[in-house]
Structure 1
Amino acid sequence: MRWVYAIFALVFSAASAQQGTIVDVAKRLGATTLLQLVEDAGLTNVLSSKGPFTVFAPTNDAFAALPADIIQKLKSDKKLLTSVLLAHVVNKTTSSKTFKDDELLASMNTDAKIRINIYLPRYVRPIPPPTVTANGCKVSMADQVATNGVVHVISKVMYPLPLKDNVVEVVHNTSSLSTLYKAIMATGVSDIIADGGPFTLLAPPDDAFSKLPPGTLDSILKNKTAAERVVTYHLIGGSKYKEALLPYNTSHPGIHDTFLPTLEGGQLVFSVETDGSLVIGRKYKVVKTDLTVGNGVIHTLDSVMIPPPFP
């Protein structure tokens, strides 16, 4: 039997050697930009140590998609670069098989958590594999095992860093959302929005409210019921990042659109226009997506959605 154990030991040793550390696996995956930034931040030895670690590794294309000034800012500010990179690392091994929807993982950047979401397309048969995201970044290749942890490849860089504040606090602290904040405070349920969740907020900025017909905004702010209906019509339960809003198959408009219920009780239909714009009800444009906050995610709209019928 000794020769059996000897062969097993050799096979295990060879497999481990092929896996290598997190850094070795990243090299094998061709994540050269990530590895260069890891080296610039002085983290190569950390990710080569015993660990264990889970690394959400952006591809080279993910870094290339960042604006040039952001890349330059990261390269010139080692402290910022380190905080961004550590926000992609969890100080334990976390297999995709253990992921739970809306699960929060503590990253090695103590100010940034990683929100895992699992989205399964509706109304599609046969049912395709679920889409898994980390702070809205699609996991394109999971469970690349290393001797000191695991690597999950993601399609985007988690930047800007997630905010710790809840939905209401973020709206309050954003100057362009001051009217929305007034509407939230007029509802009488602001504490539920702040302390509950997770939520997805579709946030109209001040200029969107200014486009409402004369007198409409005043009637909303002065009527608690009206304010609550409008605000909750812009809220969806759970964290629905852009990946969850996109139709499963954009080649057949209307057939595979995404239908999501609001907290108000109505239903929103998300579709993609021929120019690639994400719209709601073929009318309201989603202009910014995937701002991760403490109890959910915020997307910005170009208009205020009035729930039908509106008294």
Structure 2
Amino acid sequence: MLRVLLTLCMLCTCATGQDGRSIFQYLEDQGFSTLVELIRGAGLSQEFEDLDAIKTVFAPTNEAFKAVPDSVMVQLQTNVTLLKQVLLGHVVMDDTVLGVFIRDGLTKTSAAGTTLSFNKYNQIKTVNGAQISGDVLLANGVVQSINKVLLPIGDTISTIVAEGDAQFQDLFGFLILARLFGTLSLPGPYTVFAPTDAAFEKIDVSPLITNRTALADVLKDHVLSGTLWSAGLTDGMTLETLSGKQLTVHLASGQL
């Protein structure tokens, strides 16, 4: 009963507005200048101002936008249709996604029709891999600050490896040779620690090429069942791979 009352209290607080500002006003006042500029450029200011439409906005910081490749930013700034799609991919309509209710495996549909997948690693919460920071309750919904821009990604790991960066050509070939390419085409989910071509050059791969079983075991050592975003990695944590081996995570200055 107490939990139900608490839930109702929090939802009412959100609906009436603990902070009287609209979401758009808050973003302006709090220095989300890149996001505000893009919202204006997409002609979506009114949607973020509208006090009659409750929504949750996952708001990338200016630092998050700095990490987006220049070529992608140019596309966003010159293609209004694409820009609207990306911005609305950060919005959940008619819902208040509060941090206290985020659980591992939770999914929501964005205003762009894309799927937002949530994960929880101890006290760290993520949405599509972007780390979430706090709840800000406003007159027309909730703002959750995130440290990455939510951009569309490939459907499967095999697609990304096959069609993506040229630095994974050896991995692509080895997955086919080990007959694992089809496995990574399945829904999963999987997490892959993907060796680059440069990494493979540091070892003698000839014994693996002539022993398909050994090659498959080595590749499975790099694959986890489930979704593990980088934000969820902590120093010293152990992970079980598809081969059944235990990996220990070591982080130094944020680097894996």
Please state which band the TM-score falls in when normalised by the shorter chain.
Answer: 0.7 to 0.9
Aligned residue identity for 1:26: L
The 5 Å alignment of 1:172-211 reads 172-174=162-164, 175-211=166-202
Larger radius of gyration: 1
Which of the numbers 53, 56, 72 marks the counterpart of 2:55? 53
Please give the alpha-carbon distance, in whole angstroms, between the structure 2 residues aligned to 1:66 and 1:163.
13
State the secondary structure of the residue aligned to 2:119: strand
Q: 1:57, CA displacement in angstroms?
A: 0.6
Contact persistence 1:232–1:263 (CA under 8 A): yes
Contact persistence 2:18–2:137 (CA under 8 A): no
Aligned to 2:115: 113
Please give the alpha-carbon distance, in whole angstroms, between the structure 1 residues aligned to 2:224 and 2:39.
37
Please give the alpha-carbon distance, in whole angstroms, between the structure 2 residues aligned to 1:267 and 1:165.
27
Aligned residue identity for 1:37: L
Q: 1:213, CA displacement in angstroms?
A: 1.2
Aligned to 2:153: 163
Q: Which has the higher strand share?
A: 1
The percentage of counterpart residues that share the same residue type is: 29
The structure 1 segments of at least 4 consecutive aligned residues displaced by more than 6 Å after TM superposition are: none
Aligned to 1:308: none
Which of the numbers 65, 90, 98 marks the counterpart of 2:101? 98
Aligned to 1:9: none
Aligned to 1:266: 245
State the secondary structure of the residue aligned to 2:193: strand
Distance 1:227 1:213, change over 3 A: closer
- Residue deviations 1:110-167, cap 9 Å, x none? 3x432211111xxxxxxxxx1011222211222x223332211112222xx2324111
Please give the alpha-carbon distance, in whole angstroms, between the structure 2 residues aligned to 1:104 and 1:178.
33
Please give the alpha-carbon distance, in whole angstroms, between the structure 2 residues aligned to 1:216 and 1:19.
66
Please give the alpha-carbon distance, in whole angstroms, between the structure 1 residues aligned to 2:54 and 2:83.
22
State the secondary structure of the residue aligned to 1:19: coil
RMSD over aligned Cα, in angstroms?
Answer: 2.6
Number of positions where the alignment pairs a residue of Structure 1 with one of Structure 2: 239
Distance 1:25 1:36, change over 3 A: same
Distance 1:100 1:192, change over 3 A: farther
Contact persistence 1:113–1:162 (CA under 8 A): no
State the secondary structure of the residue aligned to 1:271: coil
Please give the alpha-carbon distance, in whole angstroms, between the structure 2 residues aligned to 1:228 and 1:64.
38
Aligned to 1:242: 230
Aligned residue identity for 1:132: K
- Residue deviations 1:48-82, cap 9 Å, x none? 23333211011233334445555444333333322
State the secondary structure of the residue aligned to 2:152: coil
Which of the numbers 138, 150, 159 marks the counterpart of 1:146? 138
State the secondary structure of the residue aligned to 1:100: coil
Q: 1:201, CA displacement in angstroms?
A: 0.6
Q: What TM-score, normalized by structure 1, do the two folds share?
A: 0.67
Aligned to 1:216: 207
Distance 1:35 1:187, change over 3 A: same
Please give the alpha-carbon distance, in whole angstroms, between the structure 1 residues aligned to 2:244 and 2:40.
50
Aligned to 2:219: 231
Aligned to 1:303: none
State the secondary structure of the residue aligned to 2:249: strand
State the secondary structure of the residue aligned to 1:150: strand
Aligned to 1:278: 255
Q: 1:190, CA displacement in angstroms?
A: 4.1
Q: 1:179, CA displacement in angstroms?
A: 2.7
Please give the alpha-carbon distance, in whole angstroms, between the structure 1 residues aligned to 2:67 and 2:85.
19
Contact persistence 2:208–2:214 (CA under 8 A): no
